[in-house]
A and B are shown apart, each in its own frame.
Chain A
């Protein structure tokens, strides 16, 4: 007998035909649908239903030179758009990349004005769009450090956050004389956002926040604030755009870090080579970006964020595979042809970093970033 109750006939008595049944189901599902949507829209931990005021406030504080603590889920592309509109002086050294480049701090730039404009889950489209935002400033940055991830040179539908800045990306494509008709303006973005009101994953996160709020552990939604502190028990976005992770992440034990590095390897064991696949179209698009930056008399530096030694050796052992090997070989040859400096490597040994320089499988600590940029400082770039 299966694990379900055989209902009595009287539970749906009066329900005749399939559409009566469908109505009967929908009426009974209504409390669930209402509960889910009230919790998700009410708590809204990612600020999906509240408009851009959250991002605008963060940008204003950063533009004023303040560190901003306790930023919750937000659209960091929007922050970049508002920030570039408010900045009085554009940075001389600009870092573009994903969260893997967020630990690069202003120290590496010496006395020059520095800003780290890396955004989470960045794709090549983000690098193009944010580069466009800063190239429009006058004067444009003297140096742009491009943090290139192995997934940047392959088209993917998995990373869609860049679509917030699709207009800016179109401008960059147009600079390079590329067709923008197939670019990513997302007509359905708003509706997809509204659909999150019924997303089980978003409901779970909202419920977790709600419970934490009701039990007094933490507010349901993050309320950010300006601070002089650079380290806190919550994440702090420094005035230079780089990120200081929360205390729990900073104090993560080497054993826990090692476990996470291994977990990443296991999860991506059979997929990592697909992630790091090279596509000629994307290579050409990336080279266009580099060339457009150079055309604006900007010096381009390529930064390759290393992987944790445990993760890297796991793939070597299990798959006889260098993570991002083909991508790195391509980037180095492309850079050599243009006399562009490459800092770091996906290979931790080549990058000169060790296990203690990592938060997890693919995010270096500030110490790791500093080791990699020591080479840059020594070269006097």
Chain B
């Protein structure tokens, strides 16, 4: 059962009815049960991993809190764990991270070590053993959502180490904060205490919040089914056999994947947050029109916000952030982004993608300092219009996505090296263009649907960016708002690509 299946709608309404029908003290078990049921519906094999992470981090949190109260009674509210807590915290984090490391990184680490040993020509038998271990570990399937629920649990442990008073004693409520069903598969990586506070407080039904949630859910379905899933086959066709393409298909796949991953994950986040609102919960906003960003710094304030703030709070700041010298600052940025890349996937392509973004931010930082110095001397400096910066950031971000999507680094470099090859011929006539597009499997219907949908979303996002969206709809009469919602639902039903692709971020 995925968020886009009709059975999920039935599940959602059944959970909604049961949740609100019961007295408040019985509502958390309903939500926890719903989360576990939804998780089990994708296959029972990895459910024990979820339970293991929940139980071990719950116990670790209790132990950390007890240890912390004894040793650091006056250290609450520190931005970092007090020194006395560092080793216990490190131990707790190691235990919490163990399943993620086992399932996600064993093959990558052993394979990389084997390659390094082979390349250096040392310890051939050990290298062969590592390679064999790496091969075997690839047979382990990644438990669904493990990166997301593990990071939720880790942030809980860090917060408890910083302030033992924040420990959650109620196992059921803690388990719910880890397995809250709208967020169980791919986040947003809500800070457990934000969710725990709402769970403990108890939720009162608020019809405005519920209406907003329903609308947000419909918008998420539109982004996923009408846009992302219509882009998916075109992108997959090219990335599946890069050597068979040159020029325009590569260029379209390059930008197509940028749009696909945005609408896929932003659509998922809208569905998750919309669903949470139906149950009275406010989730963390995960995307804020990232492709309108005029700098990479701004991009990361708008893209996958729950993850980027996680890395900021729990890795970048503890490394020293920007309160260090320029070189160390650059290293902190690079390290944070390379690790963020590896969080997405255990492969060098993801590390390279992270390093590129780190490099963009460092370059931007030095450029900013240089222009500040020039401005300080001359006072004026010609500047590019804002949309040009947005296009530049979007283009470079799209280039980086190539490393994220391509199966290997060689494939990514191949795409970038052949993106201009033969493009003049492919654009020389309408027939040539149509022929090229058909090699990607782009039909007239898909082209029309994508063109209209993307134009509509672009207009909507421009209005949101200018703060005109809410006032525009507030000024419409009720029947127009209702008609817009029926049109949205109708378009999902008529042209949505049902049952074709799971969410991209589920694989992380």
Contacts and interface: CB of A to CB of B under 8 A. Distances in A.
Given A2-B285, A32-B486, A200 B467 contact: no
Interface in A299-350: 314, 318
What bracket does the count of chain B residues touching chain A fall in? 35 or more
A155 to B, nearest CB: 16
Interface residues of A, number: 42
B90 interface: no
A180 B13 CA distance: 38
Contacts of A16: 207
Interface in A166-224: 198-201, 203-204, 207
A204 B215 contact: no
Interface stretch (A6-14, A48-56, A98-106): A6-14
A372 to B, nearest CB: 28
A21 interface: yes
A259 B215 contact: no
Contacts of B498: 200-201, 204
Interface in B457-495: 457, 460-461, 464, 467, 469-470, 473-474, 478, 481-482, 484, 486, 489-490, 492-495
Nearest to A26: B13
Contacts of A201: 498-499
A368 B481 CA distance: 58
A266 B208 contact: no
B371 interface: no
Contact of B490 (A8, A17, A32, A269): A32
Given A4-B215, A5-B215, A199 B493 contact: no
Nearest to B456: A3
A198 B6 CA distance: 9
A190 to B, nearest CB: 18
Most buried by B among A3, A20, A200: A3
A267 interface: yes
Nearest to B467: A1
Interface stretch (B41-49, B57-65, B237-245, B315-323): B237-245
A156 to B, nearest CB: 15
A7 B215 contact: yes
Contacts, number: 119
B205 A21 contact: yes
Nearest to A13: B207
- The DSSP consensus for interface residues of chain A is helix
B346 to A, nearest CB: 16
Interface in A1-49: 1-12, 15-22, 25, 28, 31-32, 36
A270 to B, nearest CB: 10
Interface of B: 6, 13, 16-17, 20-21, 205, 207-208, 210-212, 214-216, 218-219, 223, 233, 236-237, 239-241, 244, 270, 273, 285, 438-439, 441, 457, 460-461, 464, 467, 469-470, 473-474, 478, 481-482, 484, 486, 489-490, 492-496, 498-499
The 8 closest A-B pairs by CB, nearest first: A266-B240, A18-B20, A5-B473, A4-B215, A7-B211, A200-B498, A18-B205, A1-B464
Interface of A: 1-12, 15-22, 25, 28, 31-32, 36, 198-201, 203-204, 207, 256, 259, 262-263, 265-267, 269, 314, 318
5 contacts: A3-B461, A5-B470, A18-B205, A200-B6, A266-B240
